[in-house]
Every structure is written in structure tokens, then in C-alpha cells.
Structure 1
Amino acid sequence: MIGDYTYSEFFSILAMQGFAGLILFSVFVLMALGLAIIFGQMGVINMAHGEFMILGAYVTYLCSNFVSSYAPALFPIYFFVAMVLAFMASFALGLLVEWAMIRHLYKRPLDTLLATWGLSLVLQQLYRSVFGAREVGVTLPDWLMGSVALTDIVEVPINGLFVMGLTLAITVAVYFIMFRSGWGKRVRAVMQNRVMAGAVGIDTRKVDRMTFGLGCGIAGIAGAAFTMIGSTGPTAGQLYIVDTFLVVVFGGAASLLGTIASAFTISQAQSTMEFFMSGSMAKVLTLLSVVIILMLRPQGLFTLKIRQ
């Protein structure tokens, strides 16, 4: 016996909370990948990142309603179309925001923090005016419903497995874009030495705009995935922005591997502790642990070695 649980019940609980943590980990990674690109590569503190995620969620909601009303035969596959549209909408808004506001604030992190925080408030009010203050949810196709029984006690939701698979695919795609493509080399060149990158013919302004747009587009995909595990409201993005920044800073701002490792550590710790204590206490203990580790290792779990 462990407390009030038998060994079988205890380990089954750990397994179920572990899978719940993997689903939370998937959302963290999708959010943090976009933020790591924007913050880690560009040094821009984007406090409106959660609102880009919610834009993707609302696009998915609109797509769900449209297909169910006007093209019900396509409903089983609408989610794939919704993810593409969510990416395009958030990507386009990201390009607009970078052109209209962010490009004037490079090398001024406090100003970008304040400006994007104001942008987040504007977008929240816009969502509230268009979609209403009440939370909305999407209707999932039948093949995403139900669960897979691993044991007599442990069951894994199918939509959670889909989100994890989606996260793996997006992570691999981001890796190849950032580290195995010519455009990724240009991005890293601009990050390491903007003046020299411009001197060899790289259009640094275009790289900045496309990088910011890509980070926002990935947040839109995270919003589409978010609709599977939670309801969407105007302020839902703010529930994840602090955790997402925590994941990026804890893992190492410019490290893709660090972002993944940090998201896994924080999500598993938070999910497991939430079962044995209150959600607020679990978050407090997680934050305290991360703060203590960052005091000992302020550069995060992983750092890129850059020759000075």
C-alpha cells in the first residue's frame, strides 16, 4: 500500500497522469516552438503570443461550424483543413504586426514587451466583440472521439494521441526548417551577427518578418490543437503565456532541444502533482523548482555555443 492506494492503483494513476502530462506537453511544445523562434532567434518578447494561438482556435471553430452546416460530407477531414487555415491566419497577422509595429522596436525588449502586451489586450477585446465573451467549443470528427484502453484501468484519449502525433510532426518540420534549410541558415546568421549577415547580401528585414510570421503561424496550429482539449475564449491564451515563457527560458532561449526537454519536465511535474494536491499548489511548486534551477543555471538547460 502507498497511502490509500494499492501498488496497482498507484502506478495506474501515475501512468494516467503521465499521459495527461504528455498532452499538456504537446500544447506547451507547440506554443513554445513559436515563441522560441520569436524570442530566441529575434529577442522579441511577444506577450500577445497567446492571442495568436486563440486566433487559430477561433479559425478552427469557424471551420467546424461552416463544414457541419454547408459540407457535412467533408466533416471527417475538416480538422486538417482547419489547421492549415489556422496557420495561414496567424502567419498573416504575424506579418502584419511585424511590419506595423515590431520592426520599429528591435533591440528594445522592454518596449516590445509593453507594445505586445497592449496588442494582446486589443486582440482580446476584438475576439470578445466578434465571438462574444462566452467560451466556445468545436465538434470533433467521430474518429477523434473515444479512447484506447491500455489496461483495465488506464485509458488514453484518441484526440490526445492525435495532438501528440501532430506535435511530433511540427517539431520535426521546424527542425528541418531551422537547421537543414537555406532559409534557416539565414535566420541563424542574422541572429548571430545582423550587420555581417546584411553585408553578405541577406535581406535581414525579410528574414525578421518571415521569422516572426512563422512563430505566430505555429502558435495558430497550437490553437487548433488546443480546441481538442479545452474550450476557447477571448482570454484563454493568457492561461498559457506564462507557462510558455517559462518553458522557453528554462530550456534555453535559442535551443530547440532545450524547449522540448523543458516542456516535458514542466508538464509532467505539473500533471503528476495536480493529482495529489491542488492545481494552484502544483503550479507554485513547479515555479519554485524552476526558479531555483535557474538561479543555479541562469542560461537554462541547453545553450547554443556561439563564437564571440
Structure 2
Amino acid sequence: MSVLIEGLFNGISIGSVLLIAALGLAIVFGLMGVINLAHGELMMLGAYTTFVVQDVFKPLGEPWFSFYIIVAIPVAFIITAIAGLILEKGVIRFLYGRPLETLLATWGVSLILRQFVRSVDWLLVIGIAVFCLFFFGGMTILKRRPDWGRIRNLVIAVLLPISLGLAVITGFFLNKIPVLTKAWFSARNVDVTAPAWLRGGLKIFGFQMPYARLFIIVLTIVCLLGVYWFLNRSTWGLKIRAVTQNREMSSCLGIPTATVDALTFALGSGLAGVAGCAVSLLGSVGPNTGQSYIVDTFMVVVVGGVGNLLGTIVAALGIGILNYLIGSGTLALMFSSTESLKPLVDVLLFFATSSMAKVMVFVLIISFLQIKPAGLFPQKGRTAEL
């Protein structure tokens, strides 16, 4: 029994990370119909933000260092929300209603973000700043012209190569300064040290519940309550739900649908950053951190029912628990004492690794979707018809 309880606890803690990530994906995919393959990389940005905040607090020493994780959570949310806002305004906005193009575009963005954290340094940041200053600054100034609609394409065609050229020239002249060319993170993984109050664990039923995993579970509950309140009680949350159900009618009633789309994408991206902050407490952080969770989060959204909050909760916890019980060999250990179940035990032992457990869970999900293709809690009414 103690082995089962320990397995359930560890599965719930894994499911909690999936749930935070899936909350953001459920908002973006479920409410907006956008397949965002860069969602895992937004988690990665949240994890790296936590690492940077940790390094900022290290010189301060105790007791300030113990509170860095409290600061890292809202900072990770803000950074990834801004990244999501830029992604929505720069790419996604032009691809609504075209799922294949959106999928390919966000996949490309995910590759760019992974390479960005591998090679980012002060020189790259300065180059991007120079490009943005000249390109967007010039666009902002020229927008005031009365004939802007007629000359817009010409301005972009002229400003784009000029801004790129100035950025490249700036990088060429600053390339000899070693401080500016030193990579911030490189391709290696970085470690996030949990504060003192999250080390150790609570002993119950003969096993230890790590404080870090308990913190992740509490963080998940807070995020869940926050999202529920925002969508059901706040003004903008009601506008998001209205646009989701009937975009044309919402626009006729004066709801700024473009602003709602941007806010929705930023909210989903911010939640991915919070999930990345939680992931950083479980292990090292690297450029491929998000890829370990993106498939599972998509499965959570699909199994739970697209856009359904309750379904997302049940699916995340179910997939997290199944992954751990199968991958850790806990299920095989539970049935090993029964001789008649030896064939089942042999099968479970074959899948008793983290990678093979994902394969088995994936097969179970496919089988489930053959019975209920719309998930545990399918959409009803007008939304289901769209």
C-alpha cells in the first residue's frame, strides 16, 4: 500500500506540471483553435527565466535567496506572456483559420527559440535591439503620414533590408569584444537550486514527500483557481468566452476581437512559463526541456476534451499517474505476487522505463479515443459546431 501511495503522489506531482502546461495549451488550442508547437519552448523560456532570477539573487545571500522562486514565478509568467504576445502579433494573427500553416509556423518558431537560447549573447541582443529600433521606429514614425495605406508595403520593403544591414554592421564592429560574444547559456544544461525551504520532504506512510513536489502541486492549484476566476468572473475572461462562442456577434457588440485574441495567447503563453518554472525544480534545464512535455500536454488537452477545464484536470492527473506507475515498475510490483497474472507482469516489466511507459500510455490513449474521439468531456452546443 505504501508503494502504491508513493507512486500516486509522484504521479500526481508529474500530472501537476502537465496540468499547468496544459492549462495554457487548452486556452490557446481549445479556445482559439491554434495548434502551437512552440508551447514547449515557451516552457523552456520560463525555466531559463527561473535560472536567471536565481543567479540575480545568489549574491544577495540568505535570507533573500530563499525567496527567489517566489519572484521567479511572476517574472517567468510576464516574460513568456510577452514572448507569446510577440508571436501572436507577428505570426499567428495572419494564420487564423489555417491550422496547417499555423502548425508549420509555430514549429519553425520552436526551432528558432531552441537555437536562440543556445547562441544568445550580448552581441545578438544588441543586434536585435538595433534592428527593432530602426525598423519598428521607422514604421511608427511613418504611420502618421496620411497616405500610409498606400505606401506601407514600399516602406517595409525599404526599411527591412536597411535595418538588417545596420544590425549586421553593428555586430561586425562589436565582434572583437570578448565580453559581448560570450554565450549566456550555450547548449549545455543548467541547474536550478531549490531554496532551503523546498529541500527535504515530509514523511508520511513510510515514504518521503519532497517539499519541491508539494510546492508544485500547490502552485498548480493556485494557477487552476486563478484561470477559473479569470475566465468566469473577470470582464476580459467573459469577453474571451464570448469571442470563443461567437466571434461575429461579439465583434458586432463592440468587443475588440483582435485584442481578445492577443490577450488569450499571452495568457496561455504565460502559464507555459509558470510550468517551466515548476519543471526547473525537478531537474536540469536545457534547450530541449520543452520537448519532453509538449506531446504529453497535447494528449492532455485532446483526452480531456478541447477547451474543457475539468477534462484537462482529469486527463493531466490520469496521464501523469499512469506514466509514473508504469515507468517506475510500481504496477508490475503490485501484481507480481499473483501467479496467474505473470504474463501481465512480464508485459508491465517490459514497459517499466520512462520512454517505454510513454509508448504504452500513448497506445492506451489511442484506444480510448477510438471509443470517445471527442475526449472525456466533449464540447456541446454552438462551440462544438464551429
Q: In which range does the TM-score fall when normalised by the shorter chain?
A: over 0.9
**In the TM superposition, what whole-angstrom CA distance separates every residue of 1:104-139 from its partner, at most 9, and x where no partner exists?**
000001111000000000000001113111111112
Q: Which runs of 5+ in 2 are unaligned?
A: 121-184, 330-351
Q: What is the TM-score when the length of structure 1 is the normalising length?
A: 0.94
> Which residue pairs with 1:194 in the alignment?
247
| Identical columns (%) | 46
What is the SS of the residue equivalent to 1:136? coil
1:61-210 to 2 correspondences below 5 Å: 61-70=51-60, 72-130=62-120, 131-152=185-206, 154-210=207-263
Whether the 8 Å contact between 1:135 and 1:234 is mirrored in structure 2 is: yes
8 Å contact kept, 2:306–2:379: no
The match for 1:47 is 37
Q: Structure 2 CA distance, aligned partners of 1:43 and 1:31?
A: 17
Deviations 1:199-241, CA, capped at 9 Å, x for gaps: 1100000000000000000000111111111210001101110
2:13 partner amino acid: I
Root-mean-square deviation (CA), in Å? 1.1
Q: What is the letter of the counterpart of residue 105 of structure 2?
A: A
The 1-side partners of 2:17 and 2:195 are apart by: 20
Instruction: Say yes or no: does 1:285 pair with 2:360.
Output: yes
Amino acid aligned to 1:246: M
Q: Deviations over 1:42-70 (max 9, x none)?
A: 00000000111111111110110111024
Q: Which amino acid aligns with 1:288?
A: V
1:195 CA drift (Å)? 0.9
Gaps of 5+ in 1: 1-10
Distance 1:51 1:281 in 2: 24
Residue 184 of structure 1 and its aligned partner are, at CA, apart by 1.5
Query: How far has the Cα of 1:263 moved from its partner?
Result: 0.5
Following superposition of structure 1 onto structure 2, how do residues 3-22 of structure 1 map, counting pairs within 5 Å? 11-22=1-12
Distance 2:246 2:211 in 1: 45
Corresponding position of 2:28: 38
How far off is 1:78 after superposition?
1.2
Q: 1:269 aligns with which of 302, 322, 343?
A: 322
Q: 1:227 aligns with which of 261, 265, 280?
A: 280
Partner Cα separation in structure 1 for residue 355 and residue 74 of structure 2: 35
Instruction: Tell me the CA shift for residue 71 of structure 1.
Output: 5.5
Q: Aligned pair count? A: 297
In the alignment, the residues of structure 2 paired with residue 296 and residue 204 of structure 1 have an alpha-carbon distance, to the nearest angstrom, of 36
Partner Cα distance (2:356, 2:217) in 1: 26
Note if 1:212 corresponds to 2:212.
no
2:135: which partner in 1? Answer: none
In structure 2, give the amino acid aligned to 1:232.
Answer: V
- Measure how far apart 1:72 and its partner are: 4.5
Q: Is the 8 A contact 1:57 1:220 kept in 2?
A: yes
Q: Normalised by the size of structure 2, how large is the TM-score?
A: 0.75
Q: Residue 171 of structure 1 aligns to which amino acid in structure 2?
A: L
